[in-house]
Amino acid sequence: MKSILVPIDFSENAMSAVNYAGALAKLLQLDLHLLHAIHNPVADINSSIILLEILMENAKSCANQKLEATAETIQEQFGITPQIHMDFGLAADYIIKESESLDVDLIVMGTSGASGFVDSLFGSVTSSVIKRGKKPVMAIPDEAKYEKVKVITMANDHQESMAFEMSFIHDLAQKMESRLDIIFIKSENTTYHQEMILNDAKLRQVSIWAPSVFEGITTYLEREGADLLVLKHHDRNFFEDLIHKSTTKEILRKSSIPLLIF
């Protein structure tokens, strides 16, 4: 890993993601990019082009001041000098475009909502970037504070290849000095059962039998805990199905652990 991109709209939850990403970039010695999508100013249809240009310039100047202030705070807190990027456009489109142009390894985004972290994840800019983008996204609940990641839990249901994801997470776990729990879930009409296949200090491999994938994940989290949960966004809508199960929502809503989504 070489770099992290953090989209920022200057909201409270976005700043939580910035702080989380700053701590992560410092730990892993990564470059940090801050990005802001500027909304096109609203003007009366009869307004002159000159007025529209003035409004756009004011919006750009204001955004630049806020980005520079945020970058200065990151520099003071973490000793990192972020690069800043901004342009007019739709947030998700701009984030995806710049993540590919900068060839970042990870996008860190904040998410929150009145109905809870999991509910707000879908139907949001974060959701759009997850679904349409090509880069891994780490979604940070607004109450999450960066602390040492002791345990990373990665779920796999054997439905598709995860070679890239496995390599990425193994590397991340080594650099973070975290224990990696890889749970292989078999969805069968049975009660929950788990069998430890490998139990080293830094790596666990666990086979799980459960009535469904989401019950396998949530039961394991209840029993073992995690500081980071890793999932893959499947084309067959596994991820949407997973997080829309009420039991999963309840567990994740009560938790402050980030989600790393491929």
Give the start-to-end residue ranges of the domains of the chain: 3-141, 151-257
The domain over range 151-257 is classified in CATH as 3.40.50.620: yes
**Are the CB atoms for 11 and 110 separated by under 8 Å?**
yes
Q: What is the pLDDT of residue 132?
A: 86
Cα–Cα distance, 180 to 173 (Å, whole number): 6
Nearest to 8 by CA among 76, 75, 69, 81: 69
Give pLDDT tens digits along the chain (262 positions): 899 999 998 887 788 889 999 999 999 999 999 999 987 766 556 666 776 677 778 878 888 899 999 999 999 999 999 999 999 988 899 999 999 999 999 999 887 543 444 445 544 787 788 888 899 999 887 777 788 899 999 987 666 677 888 899 999 999 999 999 999 988 776 789 999 999 998 999 999 998 887 788 888 988 888 899 998 865 445 555 555 555 445 554 555 678 898 8
Tokens (6 digits) for 98: 């710049």
Q: What is the pLDDT of residue 111?
A: 72
**Can you identify the CATH homologous superfamily of domain 3-141?**
HUPs (3.40.50.620)
Q: What is the pTM of this model?
A: 0.85
> What number of other Cβ atoms are within 10 A of residue 64's Cβ?
14
Say which residues have a Cβ less than 8 Å from residue 7's Cβ, sequence separation at least 6: 14, 35, 36, 37, 91, 95, 107, 109, 125, 129
**Are the CB atoms for 139 and 113 separated by under 8 Å?**
no
Q: What is the pLDDT of residue 159?
A: 64
Q: Which amino acid is at 31?
A: D
Q: What is the pLDDT of residue 101?
A: 96
